[in-house]
Structure 1
Amino acid sequence: MIEFSHVSKDYRGVKALDDLSFTVGTGSITGFIGPNGAGKSTAMRILVGLSRVTSGSATVLGMPYTELSCPGHRVGTLLDAGAQHPGRTGREILTLGAMTLGLPRSRVDEVLDLVGLTGREGRRTVGGYSLGMRQRLGIGHALLGEPEVLVLDEPANGLDPQGIQWMRGLLHDLSGSGCAVLLSSHLLHEVEQVADRIVVIGRGRVLIQGTVDELSRGRSLEQTFLELTADADRSAA
Structure 2
Amino acid sequence: MKNYDFTLKFNLQRQPCQSDKVRTKNNRESPHHSSDWILDLLHNENEVQVLIHGPNDSNLVNPNPTSPGLNLQQPQVDPSFYVEALYSGGCDDALIGVGKKGYISLNFIREALSAYEAISSAIADVKRVIPHASLIEAAPDYVGLTDVAKILGCTRQNIRKLIVTSEPSSPPPIYEGTPSIWHLAEILDWLQEVKAYPIDSSLIEVAKINMDLNNAKSWQKLEPAYQETIKALVS
Higher strand content, 1 or 2: 1
Q: Give the TM-score, by structure 1 length.
A: 0.28
Q: What is the TM-score with the length of structure 2 in the denominator? A: 0.28
